Amino acid sequence: MGGTAGPGGPGGRHRRSRPSFSRDGWAKAWQSFAKQNPAAVPKVLATLAAREAELAGAREADAARLSRQAREARAAGSLAWLGEDLLLLALDAGRGSFGRIYGISYGLMGAELVRLAACGRIDIVDDQVVVRSPAPTGDADLDAALARIGEPTTSPWWVPRPGIISGYRGRLVATGVICIQRGSGKRWRITQAEARQRLDLIACSVGPVDLSQTAYAALVCALGLDRLLYPGGGRRAERDRLREIAAGHWTTSPARASDSADATAASVDASNGPDRAAIDAATLAAIHAAACTVFAALNQY
């Protein structure tokens, strides 16, 4: 037989609560405890001091984490996520399969071109990709793309290199971002939604965007993922917004190079390397070149 709900919950059971003391009440309670247990006072004080030091360390760690997150949020030039996010969007649009696997390989090459421009390695001159600095970036994919651009006898930069998709996919598997769905053959399940959330924020945004957001929107539209991810008349606003951004109508200057993960990894010497304005211009040109080339490659037949 069920009881009536009382102050303590179903059946009228009461929960035991902690005693509530004012500041003076706690002081009196401590004085009473110290008087009755003088030998225990040093141990209690040491425990309290250790706890205070632990809390201070936690506060410092939280402050450092928030500061790092703020820097990352400002680091619009940090594009290390670009290729992997495009691959995740392709999986999202394909409901767990790489239905546009050939197309996404072009998108990955386009993402690498943009990232190389963002870290001062390449520029676009007279519609040609030129190497500004052959120094390694520390990223195997970028270094492979840079080597291809620097060697005129190899295939053009936009021709997907063998194994490019498996390399990106392997990293996503290793970090647990995707996994095989049980009983689904070779369909993949996306365990983290950051890639789609990042795109949704751009598609639903208003006003100016930075270069990283422009690059994301431009490659998404070039791959035709905007139509797949935002289908129908009810999502026209998102598609139109992405296409306007892709066309460069809302682009502003990105964050400073000192906050850019790609620029930091590339270690471009500001004293003798290209300045930030030149890198921004090269990045914007690379975005346009990558998007146009990817779109042309997928629509040539």
**DSSP letter (8 states) at residue 203:** H
**Predicted pLDDT at 182:** 75
pLDDT, mean over the chain: 79
Q: What is the pLDDT of residues 54-107, one digit of tens each?
A: 887 777 776 665 544 444 333 334 689 999 999 999 988 877 777 655 689 999
Q: Given pLDDT bands bounded at 50, 70 and 90, which one contains residue 50?
A: confident
- How would you label 154-170 residue by residue, b for 16+ Cβ within 10 Å and e otherwise? eeebbebbeebbeebbe
Distance of CA 278 to the CA centre of its chain: 24
Could you tell me what percent of the chain has a pLDDT over 90? 41
Q: What is the pLDDT of residues 239-252, one digit of tens each?
A: 999 999 999 999 98
Write phi, then psi, for 180 (nearest 5 degrees). -70, 135
- Type of residue at 91: L
List the one residue out of 172, 173, 165 whose CA is nearest residue 112.
165
pTM over 0.85: no
